[in-house]
A = this chain, B = another copy of it.
Amino acid sequence: MDAFEALADPTRRQVLDLLSRRERTAGELGRGFPSVSQPGMSRHLRVLREAGLVRVRRERSYRIYSIRSDGLAGVDAWMRKYREFWKQELDSLERYLDGSGLSTAESRRTRRHR
């Protein structure tokens, strides 16, 4: 399962959100999702691992999971070429605002905020 498929599941995205703050054991992650059984979480973690989105290391009897940027960097790279699209839309918003009654300062503020 590739990174895009792995990210399609909301639970897995939430797991990454938790890991983005700090690394956690499999058990901690599992307890964070009462709606998911222990084997269910284990499977999600496996998917994330095989997609290159997380890494594991063993410590005592625990498995400690943490974010691995490789996979996400790949997704980010794919998205890069689209980023200009909303930048473009902001630009045309700016042009529109510049043409209207707003001052340029106000336009810039508007742009910065959205």
A8–B13 CB distance below 8 A: no
Q: Is the CB of B86 within 8 A of A69?
A: yes
Closest chain B residue to A80 by CB distance?
A: B76
Interface string of A74-110 (1 = CB under 8 A from B): 0110110111011001000000000000000000000
CB atoms of A13 and B78 under 8 A apart? yes
Docked-complex contact A79 and B72, CB < 8 angstroms: yes
User: Given the complex, which residues of B lie within 8 Å of A8, measured CB to CB?
Assistant: 4-5, 7-8
Q: Are A79 and B81 in contact (CB under 8 A)?
A: no
Report if A16 contacts B (CB, 8 A): yes
Q: Is A36 an interface position by the 8 A CB rule?
A: no
Q: What range describes how many residues of A lie at the interface?
A: 20 to 34
Give the residues in chain B near A20, CB-CB below 8 Å: 81-82, 85
For A5, the chain B residues whose CB sits under 8 A away are: 8
CB of A67 within 8 Å of the partner chain: yes
Q: What is the 8 Å Cβ interface bit string for chain A, positions 44-86, against chain B (1 contact, 0 not)?
A: 0000000000000000000000010100110110110111011
